[in-house]
A and B are shown apart, each in its own frame.
Chain A
Amino acid sequence: MLSRRTRLALWQLGRSFSSMLGLGLVLGIVGLALLGPWVVPYPDDVAGAVNIAGKLQAPSAAHWFGTDEVGNDILTRVIIGARLSLLVGVGITLAAAAIGVPLGVMAGTAGGVVREAVMRLTDLFLSVPGLVLAIALVAALGPGIVNAMVALVLVWWPGYVRLAEAKALSLREEPFIEAARVAGASRFRILWRHVLPNSLSPIIVKMSMDVGQAILAVASLGFLGLGARPPTPEWGAMISIARGYLPDWWWYAICPGAFIYVSVLGFNLLGDGLRDILDPRSNRG
C-alpha cells in the first residue's frame, strides 16, 4: 500500500496530460538507453563498421531511418547515442547541483561576508552566456566529451546557487528554524537537518528541467565539433555531419534531431509536472 502522499502525487501527475506525456517520453528514452544494445537492429554499426556499399540509403524496412555516409544504420546509432546523452545530461546536472546547492544554502543561511563572496562570484558566472563560456572553456581545455562536460558543469552550478540561496533565505525566517535555534542546534545542524531538506523541492524541479537543457548543450558542443568526436554516436556530432548532406539526404539529420527534441521536451514537461506536485503554492490550474 502506497502512502497517501505518494498516491496523491501520482493522482496529480495522472490528471495532467502534459506531465504524463513528459513522463512517458522520459521513460521511453531511458528505456531505449537501457535496452539499447539488445534492441538495435545493427549492433555492429555502433563502433563504426564501414559498409560503403550501403551508404546513404533512404529509409526502408531494413533501415527505418536510412544509413549514414559509411553505411551505418542511423536508428541504431541514435539509440545508442541516447545512452551517452542521458549519461552526460544527468551527470552535468548532478555535478552542477552538487556544487551549487551547498554553496547556495550556505550563503543563504550564513549571510554576511560569506554570502557576499559566494553571490558575487555567482553573479560573475551568470553575467556571461553559459554556452559561450562553455565554448571558450572547451577551446582552452581541448575538444572531447569529458572536457565538454567539465565546461558545462563549470557554467551550470551558479543557477543552483541562486535557487538554493533564495530558498534558504526564505526558510531562515521560518519559525521552525527559530525553534531549532532555541533547542540549541548548531548552525551546521540547522543547515543540514532543516534548511537543506526543505529546499529540495524547487531544486529537484530545476534538475529535471536541466537534464533536457544539458542534453541540448552537449549536442550543441558536439555539433560545433567541441564535444564527442565521430565515430562516437553522439546526437550533436551526428547532426553536424548530417548537415553536409542536407537537403538531399534529409533523413540523416531528422533522426538525431527528433531525439534531441523529444528528450528536451520530455524533461521539461516532467519538470513542470513535478513542480505542480512538489510546490503546493504553484498554480495548479
Chain B
Amino acid sequence: MSPGSDGRSADTRGELNRPRETLLAITDYRLAFDSFDGTAQVLDGVSLQLAAGETLGIVGETGCGKSVLARSLLRLNPAPPARVVSGSIQFEGTDILTLSEREMRRLRGRRIAMVFQDPVSYLNPLLAIGPQMTDALRGQHAAAREAQPSRAEARARAAALLASVGLAEPERLLASHPHQLSGGMRQRVLIAMALAGNPALLVADEPTTALDVTVQAQVLALIAGLVRDRGLALLLISHDLGVIAASCARVAVMYAGTIVEEAATATLLRGPRHPYAQGLLAAVPDLDRPDHRPRGIAGSIPNLLRPPPGCRFHPRCALATERCRVEKPLLRQVAPGHNVACHHA
C-alpha cells in the first residue's frame, strides 16, 4: 500500500490554510514527578494542537518527555509519582484531566487508542490472540455501558480487524499464541486492537523501534494507509526523524520537557530554526551522503530536578546570551504554521 503523497500534501496545505475541527488541544501542560531526590519538572508548559485527521510527529531524545506526554493523553502516567501541575488537555471539547477514572476508561481504546514500542509486553503470553482481542472488544462495550457483543460476534470483528491491518489468515492467527508471531505481526495485532474502538486519535509511541528496518517500512506504510483511509489523527512519538518524516505532515521537537520547535515536517527538515533542532538534524548520519560527517551536540541533557533557568537549552547552545539565561523563550510564530521557542529565531 502506498502512503499516498497527494493525501499528505493536502494535509499540509490544510494545516496551513484551512482551519479544521480541533481534536486535541494541549494548553500549557505541566507535569511533575515527585521522587526521593525532589520534584522533576518533566513537562514544562507544553502546548500543542491537533486537528481531526492530522498527523503530528514528536521527536526528541531520551528523557525529553515525549513518551510521558503521549501517556498523558490516556492518563497512563502513574500518580504518584506523576502530578499535574497546571494546564489542560482538551480532547473533543472535554478536558480529560478532569474526567473520572470511569469516564477515562470509556475514552481509552475507543476515542483515543495507543500502540507501544514493545508489542510483546502488551500481549498476554498465556492467551491466544483470539480471546485477548474478544475480551478487549467486549470490555470496551462494558466500559461504555453498552450491550456486549456475543463471543461469536466479537470473534468475527476481531478477524475483520486483523484482515484490515494486512494480516493473512486471520482465523488461524486468532488461535495462535503471541510467541508464535513475529515482531511485525505482533505490532500489527496491537494496531488492530487499537482500531477496535474506532478511535479518532491514534497515539503511537515508538511503534517501530523494536522492529527490523524492512519490517519497520511495512508497519509505517500500514499506519500511513490507516490514517488516510480512516481519517485517523496520528500522534507519532519517535527518536528517529526519518520515521517521522515518513509518516507525519507536521513535527514538534521536544527538549527537556518543552517543545522548542513545531513546523510542517518538510519545512523543519529543510530549515530548522531552533539551535537544538538544528543540532539534532546535524547529528543524524545520512546514508546517501557518507561524506557528511554527523556532528554531536556538546554537553548533555539537563537534570530535570534542577533544570537550568531561562531557556533549558542555553547551557549547550552556541547562541546563548544573558537573556537566554534568565527568560524562558515562549513558542512563537516565525512563519505561518512554524513556531519556535528561541529568543534568537
> Chain A contact residues: over half helix, strand or loop, or mixed?
helix
- Taking CB atoms, residues of chain B closer than 8 Å to A11 are 36
Closest CB in chain B relative to A215 CB, distance in Å: 33
Closest CB in chain B relative to A147 CB, distance in Å: 48
Contacts of A1-45 to chain B: CB distance below 8 A: 4, 7-8, 11-12
Closest CB in chain A relative to B251 CB, distance in Å: 35
- Taking CB atoms, residues of chain A closer than 8 Å to B37 are 4
- Taking CB atoms, residues of chain B closer than 8 Å to A4 are 37
- Taking CB atoms, residues of chain A closer than 8 Å to B36 are 7-8, 11-12
CA separation between A12 and B37, bound complex, in Å?
A: 12
Question: Scoring B residues 36 to 50 as 1 if CB is less than 8 Å from chain A, else 0, what string do you get?
Answer: 110000000000000
Closest CB in chain A relative to B177 CB, distance in Å: 24
CA separation between A61 and B342, bound complex, in Å?
A: 79
- Taking CB atoms, residues of chain B closer than 8 Å to A7 are 36
* Residue in B closest to A7 when the chains form the complex, CB atoms: B36
CA separation between A7 and B36, bound complex, in Å?
A: 9
Question: Scoring B residues 174 to 218 as 1 if CB is less than 8 Å from chain A, else 0, what string do you get?
Answer: 000000000000000000000000000000000000000000000
Closest CB in chain A relative to B87 CB, distance in Å: 28
Interface size class of B (residues with CB under 8 A): under 10
A-B contact count (CB 8 A): 5
- Taking CB atoms, residues of chain B closer than 8 Å to A8 are 36
Closest CB in chain B relative to A14 CB, distance in Å: 10
Closest CB in chain B relative to A281 CB, distance in Å: 15
Closest CB in chain B relative to A24 CB, distance in Å: 22
CA separation between A4 and B38, bound complex, in Å?
A: 12
CA separation between A12 and B35, bound complex, in Å?
A: 11
* Residue in B closest to A11 when the chains form the complex, CB atoms: B36
CA separation between A35 and B337, bound complex, in Å?
A: 77
CA separation between A7 and B37, bound complex, in Å?
A: 10
Closest CB in chain A relative to B37 CB, distance in Å: 8
CA separation between A163 and B36, bound complex, in Å?
A: 31
Closest CB in chain B relative to A269 CB, distance in Å: 21
Closest CB in chain A relative to B39 CB, distance in Å: 15
CA separation between A11 and B37, bound complex, in Å?
A: 10
Closest CB in chain B relative to A128 CB, distance in Å: 34
Closest CB in chain A relative to B34 CB, distance in Å: 12
CA separation between A260 and B276, bound complex, in Å?
A: 64
Contacts of B42-71 to chain A: CB distance below 8 A: none
Contacts of B21-44 to chain A: CB distance below 8 A: 36-37
CA separation between A7 and B38, bound complex, in Å?
A: 13
CA separation between A11 and B36, bound complex, in Å?
A: 7
CA separation between A4 and B303, bound complex, in Å?
A: 16
Closest CB in chain A relative to B229 CB, distance in Å: 42
CA separation between A32 and B36, bound complex, in Å?
A: 34
CA separation between A4 and B37, bound complex, in Å?
A: 9
CA separation between A146 and B325, bound complex, in Å?
A: 71
Closest CB in chain A relative to B82 CB, distance in Å: 15
CA separation between A244 and B4, bound complex, in Å?
A: 91
- Taking CB atoms, residues of chain B closer than 8 Å to A12 are 36
CA separation between A12 and B36, bound complex, in Å?
A: 8
CA separation between A8 and B36, bound complex, in Å?
A: 7
Closest CB in chain A relative to B306 CB, distance in Å: 14
Closest CB in chain A relative to B35 CB, distance in Å: 9
* Residue in B closest to A15 when the chains form the complex, CB atoms: B36
Closest CB in chain A relative to B155 CB, distance in Å: 35
Contacts of A179-233 to chain B: CB distance below 8 A: none
Closest CB in chain B relative to A143 CB, distance in Å: 51
CA separation between A4 and B36, bound complex, in Å?
A: 10
Closest CB in chain B relative to A18 CB, distance in Å: 19
Question: Scoring A residues 237 to 281 as 1 if CB is less than 8 Å from chain B, else 0, what string do you get?
Answer: 000000000000000000000000000000000000000000000
Closest CB in chain A relative to B173 CB, distance in Å: 32
* Residue in B closest to A8 when the chains form the complex, CB atoms: B36
Closest CB in chain A relative to B114 CB, distance in Å: 24
Contacts of B319-336 to chain A: CB distance below 8 A: none
* Residue in B closest to A9 when the chains form the complex, CB atoms: B36
Closest CB in chain B relative to A62 CB, distance in Å: 49
CA separation between A20 and B37, bound complex, in Å?
A: 21
CA separation between A11 and B38, bound complex, in Å?
A: 12
Closest CB in chain A relative to B38 CB, distance in Å: 12
Closest CB in chain A relative to B278 CB, distance in Å: 35
Closest CB in chain A relative to B326 CB, distance in Å: 30
Closest CB in chain B relative to A8 CB, distance in Å: 5
CA separation between A76 and B111, bound complex, in Å?
A: 71
Question: Scoring B residues 132 to 165 as 1 if CB is less than 8 Å from chain A, else 0, what string do you get?
Answer: 0000000000000000000000000000000000
* Residue in B closest to A4 when the chains form the complex, CB atoms: B37
CA separation between A73 and B36, bound complex, in Å?
A: 48
CA separation between A8 and B38, bound complex, in Å?
A: 11
CA separation between A272 and B149, bound complex, in Å?
A: 45
* Residue in B closest to A10 when the chains form the complex, CB atoms: B36
CA separation between A53 and B37, bound complex, in Å?
A: 63
CA separation between A184 and B36, bound complex, in Å?
A: 40
CA separation between A42 and B131, bound complex, in Å?
A: 71
Question: Scoring B residues 220 to 263 as 1 if CB is less than 8 Å from chain A, else 0, what string do you get?
Answer: 00000000000000000000000000000000000000000000
Closest CB in chain B relative to A275 CB, distance in Å: 18
Chain B interfacial positions (CB closer than 8 Å to A)? 36-37
5 A-B interface contacts by CB (under 8 A) = A4-B37, A7-B36, A8-B36, A11-B36, A12-B36
Chain A interfacial positions (CB closer than 8 Å to B)? 4, 7-8, 11-12
Sorted nearest first, the 4 A-B pairs with minimum C-beta distance are A11-B36, A8-B36, A12-B36, A4-B37
